[in-house]
């Protein structure tokens, strides 16, 4: 008991220091009945072994959260994923969401951009602006962030194989706005291993892709130290059909591979470690999801401290974004999706997420309308300001059920990771199709349970409503494509073509050495070389990956 009291007093001092640096949102927190809510709760007759394992918020192993005050000091970032059609259309949606109280941006790029093709490439036909915004050049990026100060907002970009190019464009736009690279904040996904496993928007073979990732790590550690250089993503692994245990295990196995690649490239763990971020799925099983997030933090802290020898606290702390599960949304009775999203979001909040995207009710049918996007954002705001869920830290902590689930998820995930290590690590496991097969098996089993009605999905295999009226859906107007192609043609006619050609040739030559490619890519985008031109230059050296 005495040991616990001393630890608690030490933690309280750390909290006070944090509060002196940044005041809390409010001085007191109460229930609707005006009952006081404490910052954090522990059992009265706690034993030392238990508290040592569970820990305090903001302290190793971070089971209870990575910040001393969590949401009492600062709410999670409300970061709605958006992007469609032209840069101008997406800019309007961004500004609308910011006006409605969104606190961070998240960019969805169209499929050609994601796999390194320009809008006028024959491969892009029929896909321009369909599942995200079309970005061909720095000119498009300037339009995307028109009247949005990159010194005041943080931006997440879901981009992987061409991540270096889009990051370079973001840096260039910021500089045009007068914002230095060291002042920009945000995240690029930049997680290529999960593309081979689950999502499919890869370009280059794994070895060359890993080289680009470590080049970004090194560049940002010197030039843009406040920007997160990777968002290691379990989200798409889960969307492909994995279980919660597999999502946890495969995501962290991939993260281990990125850390090892960076160390092999000569980087210091405490230089790049604090800029690693994660991206998880918020699925339907409420308590398992909350426990999954708690287990993830603890696992990562142990790995960074015990395996990789990290010394900085920020290197040990797992910061993650959560998006609720798109795969659980149903075309049948789409209004039910509002309820699913709210519960999934609440699990993420109770699990301690740092930022959150809530899906719109119509996303099983189309891109979200403005009205449905607003409801999705309002869902987060209601959780934050009306439910009391943010008033105390780790409200589920100490629950017999949640603590046991947290422990089980950690044990089972490490069991998977140990097997992946036996295969030679995540890159070799990807090449051997191990993780892919495990996900396919889990997805098949889930489908069988659904068909046998062992699992119930309301409105799909139970409680159907008969004939339903189709809701109003967003339709992307293809007429913008002509303007996109016209602007791209004009860009090529008006830029310094010799400068672009010289830079692309330099890029090809550098790709054959161990030179950091980010510096040349930044120069190339400032000269208005396009996404497709830069990616094709690298294709000519690296080749393309085929599974």
* Domains of the chain: residue spans and CATH: 70-451 (3.20.20.240)
- Mean pLDDT, the chain, integer: 94
List 107's β-bridge partners, or say none. Answer: 82, 157
Instruction: Please provide the distance, in angstroms rounded to a whole number, between the alpha carbons at the two ends of the chain.
Output: 57
Q: Considering the chain, what percentage of its residues have pLDDT values greater than 90? A: 86
Q: In what order do the strands lie in the sheet with 319-324?
A: 227-228, 186-188, 155-158, 104-108, 77-82, 355-357, 319-324, 276-282, 230-233
Q: Is pLDDT larger for residue 44 or for residue 264?
A: 264
Residue 24: the pLDDT is: 62
Q: Is pLDDT larger for residue 24 or for residue 400?
A: 400
Whether 294 and 351 have beta carbons less than 8 Å apart is answered as yes
Given a cut of 80, whether residue 261 has pLDDT beyond it is yes
Given a cut of 90, whether residue 346 has pLDDT beyond it is yes
Given a cut of 90, whether residue 363 has pLDDT beyond it is yes
Q: Is pLDDT larger for residue 13 or for residue 262?
A: 262
Given a cut of 60, whether residue 451 has pLDDT beyond it is yes
Given a cut of 60, whether residue 46 has pLDDT beyond it is no
pLDDT tier at 468, thresholds 50, 70, 90:
confident
Given a cut of 70, whether residue 389 has pLDDT beyond it is yes
Given a cut of 70, whether residue 47 has pLDDT beyond it is no
Given a cut of 60, whether residue 50 has pLDDT beyond it is no
Classify strands 230-233 and 276-282 as parallel, antiparallel or unpaired.
parallel
Residue 51: the pLDDT is: 57
Task: Identify which of 11, 133, 24, 131 has the alpha carbon closest to the alpha carbon of residue 65.
Answer: 11
Task: Identify which of 514, 510, 507 has the alpha carbon closest to the alpha carbon of residue 211.
Answer: 514
Find tokens 């398992």 and name the residue: 288
pLDDT tier at 49, thresholds 50, 70, 90:
very low
Find tokens 């780790």 and name the residue: 394
pLDDT digits (tens, 9 = 90+) for 331-340: 999 999 999 9
Task: Identify which of 241, 232, 234 has the alpha carbon closest to the alpha carbon of residue 210.
Answer: 232
């Amino acid at each position: 008991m005495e040991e616990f009291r001393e630890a608690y007093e030490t933690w309280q001092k750390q909290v006070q220091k944090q509060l002196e640096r940044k005041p809390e949102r409010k001085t007191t927190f109460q229930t609707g009945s005006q009952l006081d809510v404490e910052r954090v709760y522990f059992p009265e007759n706690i034993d030392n072994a238990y508290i040592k394992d569970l820990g305090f918020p903001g302290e190793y192993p971070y089971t209870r959260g990575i910040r001393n005050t969590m949401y009492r000091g600062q709410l999670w970032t409300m970061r709605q994923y958006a992007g469609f059609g032209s840069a101008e259309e997406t800019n309007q949606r961004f500004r609308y969401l910011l006006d409605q109280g969104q606190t961070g941006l998240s960019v969805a790029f169209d499929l050609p951009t994601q796999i390194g093709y320009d809008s006028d490439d024959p491969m892009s036909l029929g896909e321009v602006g369909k599942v995200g915004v079309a970005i061909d050049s720095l000119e498009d990026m300037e339009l995307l962030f028109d009247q949005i100060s990159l010194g005041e907002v943080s931006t997440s970009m879901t981009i992987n194989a061409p991540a270096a190019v889009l990051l370079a464009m973001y840096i260039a736009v910021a500089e045009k706005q007068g914002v230095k690279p060291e002042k920009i904040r945000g995240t690029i996904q930049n997680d290529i291993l999960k593309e081979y496993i689950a999502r499919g928007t890869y370009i280059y073979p794994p070895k060359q892709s890993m080289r680009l990732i470590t080049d970004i790590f090194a560049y940002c550690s010197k030039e843009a130290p406040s920007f997160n250089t990777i968002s290691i993503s379990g989200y798409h692994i889960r969307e492909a059909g994995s279980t919660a245990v597999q999502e946890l295990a495969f995501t962290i196995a991939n993260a281990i591979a990125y850390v090892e690649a960076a160390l092999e490239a000569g980087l210091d763990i405490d230089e790049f470690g604090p800029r690693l971020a994660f991206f998880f799925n918020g699925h339907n099983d409420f308590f398992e999801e909350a426990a999954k997030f708690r287990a993830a933090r603890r696992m990562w802290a142990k790995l960074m401290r015990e395996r990789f020898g990290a010394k900085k606290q920020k290197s040990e702390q797992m910061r993650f974004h959560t998006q609720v599960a798109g795969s659980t949304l149903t075309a049948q009775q789409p209004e039910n999706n509002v309820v699913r999203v709210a519960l999934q979001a609440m699990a993420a909040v109770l699990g301690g997420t740092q930022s959150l995207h809530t899906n719109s009710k119509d996303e099983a049918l189309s891109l979200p309308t403005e009205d449905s996007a607003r409801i999705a954002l309002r869902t987060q705001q209601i959780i934050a300001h009306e439910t009391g869920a943010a008033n105390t830290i780790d409200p589920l902590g100490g629950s017999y059920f949640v603590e046991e689930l947290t422990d089980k998820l950690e044990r089972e995930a490490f069991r998977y990771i140990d097997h992946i290590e036996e295969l030679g690590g995540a890159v070799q496991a990807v090449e051997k199709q191990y993780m892919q097969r495990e996900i396919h098996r889990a997805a098949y089993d889930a489908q069988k349970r659904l068909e046998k009605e062992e699992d119930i999905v309301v409105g799909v295999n139970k409680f159907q409503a008969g004939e339903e009226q189709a809701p109003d859906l967003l339709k992307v107007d293809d007429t913008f494509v002509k303007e996109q192609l016209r602007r791209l043609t004009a860009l090529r006619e008006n830029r310094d073509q010799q400068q672009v050609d010289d830079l692309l040739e330099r890029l090809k030559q550098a790709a054959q050495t161990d030179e950091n490619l980010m510096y040349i890519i930044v120069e190339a985008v400032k000269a208005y070389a396009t996404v497709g031109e830069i990616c094709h230059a690298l294709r000519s050296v690296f080749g393309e990956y085929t599974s």
